[in-house]
Structure 1
Amino acid sequence: MNDASTTIGRRLRSLRLERGYSQAQLADRAGVSVDLVSLLERDLRESMSWASMVKLARALDVDPGVIAGKAPQLDPVPGAAVLTVRDAVINPGLLPGLQADHDGEPASEGDIWHLVERAYGAYFDGEFGVLAAELPNLINECRLLQTADPVAAAGPLSHAWQLAGSVLVHTGRDDAAAIAAERAVLAAKHGNDPWRLATQYGVYCWVMLHQGRLEESERLAVTAGEDIEPSIWCLFRSKAPPEQIAAWGGLMLHAAVASGAAGHADRAEEYLRVAAAGAARLGRDRHDYWTSFGPTHVAIQRAHIMTALHRPDAALDASRKVDPRGLFKVQYGRHLLNVGRSLLEQRHTDEAVEVTTRARDLSPEWFRHQGFARSLVTDLVTRKTRLNAPLRGLVQTLGHLS
């Protein structure tokens, strides 16, 4: 059913009929209009808001990615296979009480951290094929080190699981991604760094967001944030370590995104406000544990939330505070997609095409895996009476539209 070669409407209709619902029944269960369901199924409307997709997915008891048609589209790299990553995560050899399924001498802790750094480089450059090819070996090396020194292995192993979860989300395997995110948290708990652990809770929040579990994502972010929240006295008198402020602020941004996606604008604004206070205390953007927080990232998430809430003026205003110089490729690319969507809502179609093309050029492989990009390009095609060369290029990158 998770077939990116069909349209959203065809996937929606097939799921609805499998469950025996009429269009009116599905609309009622999801809390959306019958007109929306009808237009989608007749391919008269080829995209919808994330909030509507989440509602329909919940009503049909599937992940939103199933409706969106997420599917692996990795660049051809030897050994690259999403199923191999999934199998490394859902591995019977990890079950307690069984003999270890790996052997050999572990690499040094320094060498393993070098492998982790290289894997993150591939991820943030949008090279998912390269990452998928390297992850099984990275996980195995971390597990070998864990056998010899569990505390030393806790950090790199948690990041190996985090990377596995990230590539699985982008390739439409959200359930396996949730297992990987849980493994990342459990690995981090065996270490001695509470801020690393907090960032792994944030990754779990992000995975739940992609599953459409918005309230749970927000609740986890708030709960984990409360455990490490710096006091007001520490926050403004330089007593809180910057890693603590960054980990806490990142969780507040996860809460803001989840509440904004659920349409709770006031709650999202409050989370953004407290996150901005932490970012102001830091004074600059930080990249701790391969997660980012600071003034630019507060602006990025504000633009993201305002885009989701269909407030393009506010989104574009926030984007003016984004400094791309310290951003990884995929971070800036995702932000540019929000800018493109907001420009389209303001009917600046040519500008939206230009910005979306810039996002694509940062990493075509990453771009192909973005459901938001596919939805945006679909709407750009609908808006233009004649496809110009840049828009044709976007369509060709995606291979097809749904």
Structure 2
Amino acid sequence: MANATGRKLKEVRKRRGLSQRDLAKASGVSLSLIRKLEQGDYGTPMLETLRKLASVLDIPTMCLVGEDREDRATPMTTDLWQNVRETLEHPGEVDGRLGEDEPTVAGVQRAFKEAAPLFDNDQYAELAAVLPPLLRDADALGTDGRSVRTRLLQLAGNLMVQTRQYGAADIALARAIEESDDQLEAAATVCTQCWLLVRQGKLDTALELAVQWADDTEPRLSRATRSELSTWGLLCIWISAAAVRNNDKETAADALRLAQAAAVTLGREHPGAGFSGSFGPRTVHLKRTESYGILDQPDVVLRLAERTPVTALRPSSDRNRHMLDIAHAHAKKGQFTDSFERLEQLRYASPEWLPHQQYARDIFTVVLNGRRTLTPEMRTMADFLKLPF
């Protein structure tokens, strides 16, 4: 992947008549990194880096993305979710139940309902323990357990994307769509699939998938139900997310305008189907803020963030991502203390979620590189995020 990216980068740079130094100056990517990329001596570059280079070269980001991007999960993450991955990869393999009753639909539904708050609160350790037996019990239910099994697979797929277990995520989400007998429920799973594809750098595929499902589920705004509006709005959000990362600013802006229309019609936040997240005016605002971060406009990010104080957001992965966007904007402006304060807030608010976020490690690396000396709290954060020495 690195060699393919380096070859394409060198080829397009020369075609544009730019030296490595010219490209570095125009993109803000360091000259040494560009040299390493072209020589194939760098691992998997961040999408943000590739987008900056592609923007200067006036090509889609996907032109610089190799066939597959490596999972970037830490060994800690990989170990934590091992049993969940194995259960997803080998469905239907149940443990011996000597002396135990066979699972029932009602029993699995009850256990699932009890486990759902763990997801809302990012309690990964507990989820890693309860999911394998729940998934096995749901598989043992056969056709009668189709509905609860779909929900469990949606939950597992979302968690696998969050923690960069991409192979397991793909299995869980594909099965959830196959099991679903409701179009909106399937569309909600597709939103998570788009997230997975974006994280893998498969921006063209994510865009195509989101457009296809948005076209198939587009409601008449005056007659649509709240669930139809929220699900379609989230698909529009993913069209925008894939497009802006691929340097297709016009498509991204158009999709956000459609999402805004759906949000205005809704009037307030509404839970999406499955585990796709909520949708409404606030979601569109947060995603617009995120887009300006991707476009390397930290001043706009901070200005938009003032309109929605973090204290007004309920704890959620969307809230956490927004806080990381703010921390990133501060870091880009050289406001390292402000950036670190946001990371510290997240460490206390979501201590199980934060260590699994590569975005957080990337932001904190910028903070570390910008500081001459580290405070004791910063050294603690470096250990907490498992930064390599």
What TM-score, normalized to structure 1? Answer: 0.78
Residue 257 of structure 1 is aligned with which of 222, 241, 248?
A: 241
> Is 1:309 equivalent to 2:295 in the alignment?
yes
Matched, 1:71 2:70: no
Q: Which runs of 5+ in 1 are unaligned?
A: 1-14, 95-99
Provide the residue aligned with 2:7 in structure 1. 25
Tell me which residue corresponds to 1:247.
Answer: 231
Equivalent residue for 1:180, pick from 172, 192, 197: 172
What secondary structure is seen at the aligned counterpart in 2 of 1:284? Answer: coil
User: C-alpha distance in 2, partners of 1:114/1:137?
Assistant: 14
Per-residue CA deviations over 1:98-121 (Å, capped at 9, x if unaligned) read xx8888533243x43343344332
1:195-223, CA deviations, whole angstroms, 9 ceiling, x for partnerless residues?
Answer: 21210111111111111111111111111
Separation in 2 of the partners of 1:117 and 1:316? 38
Unaligned runs of 5+ residues in structure 2 are 14-19, 24-30, 52-60
Distance 1:313 1:395 in 2: 26
User: For residue 321 of structure 2, what is the aligned residue in structure 1?
Assistant: 334
Confirm whether residue 38 of structure 1 aligns to residue 35 of structure 2. Answer: yes
State the Cα deviation string for residues 321-363 of structure 1 (Å, max 9, x = none): 4365453333211110001111222222211111121122222
Q: Deviations over 1:275-298 (max 9, x none)?
A: 011111111112233321111111
Q: Distance in 2 between matches of 1:367 and 1:25?
A: 35
Secondary structure, aligned partner of 1:365? coil
Q: In structure 2, what is the Cα distance between the partners aligned to 1:117 and 1:323? A: 31
Q: Which has the higher contact order (CA 8 A, sep 6+)?
A: 1
In structure 2, distance between residues paired with 1:375 and 1:64: 16
Listed one character per residue, the Cα deviations across residues 160-216 of structure 1 (whole Å, up to 9, x for unaligned) are 11222233233432122112111111111xx3x322121011111111111111111
CA distance in 1, matches of 2:108, 2:12: 47
User: Distance in 2 between the 1:125 and 1:155 partners?
Assistant: 23
Amino acid aligned to 1:212: G
The secondary structure found in structure 2 opposite 1:73 is helix
The structural deviation recorded for 1:44 is 11
CA contact (8 A) 1:49 1:308 kept: no
CA displacement at 1:29 relative to structure 2: 6.8
Q: What amino acid is the match of 1:85?
A: V
Give the distance between the partners of 1:262 and 1:165, measured in 2 at CA: 24
Q: Does 1:286 align with 2:277?
A: no
How far off its partner does 1:62 sit? 3.5
Alpha-carbon distance in 1 for matches of 2:49, 2:255: 19
Change (3 A) 1:180 1:51: farther
- Is residue 221 from structure 1 mapped to residue 221 from structure 2 by the alignment? no
Question: Which of 338, 346, 351 matches 1:351?
Answer: 338
Counterpart in 1 of 2:55?
none
Equivalent residue pairs, number = 358
- The 5 A counterparts of 1:367-378 are 367-378=354-365
Residues 340 and 351, structure 1, Cα contact 8 Å, conserved in 2: yes
State which drifts further: 47-56 or 126-135.
47-56
Q: CA RMSD in A?
A: 3.3
| 2:133 counterpart of 1:137 | yes
Q: 2:76 corresponds to which letter in structure 1?
A: Q
CA distance change for structure 1 residues 102 and 242 in 2, over 3 Å: closer, same or farther?
Answer: farther
Match of 1:200 among 189, 193, 200: 189
Partner Cα separation in structure 2 for residue 241 and residue 252 of structure 1 = 17
Matched-pair contact (CA < 8 Å) for 2:62–2:202: no
After superposition, where does 1:10-159 map in structure 2 within 5 Å? 21=3, 25=7, 27-28=9-10, 35-38=32-35, 48-50=46-48, 52=50, 58-59=65-66, 61-65=67-71, 69-74=72-77, 81-91=80-90, 93=92, 105-109=102-106, 111-147=107-143, 149=144, 153-159=145-151
315-324 vs 340-349, which deviates more?
315-324
Letter in 2 for 1:367: L
The answer to whether the Cα contact below 8 Å between 2:5 and 2:64 also exists between their aligned partners in 1 is no
Matched residue type, 1:144: A
Deviation larger for 84-93 or 242-251: 84-93
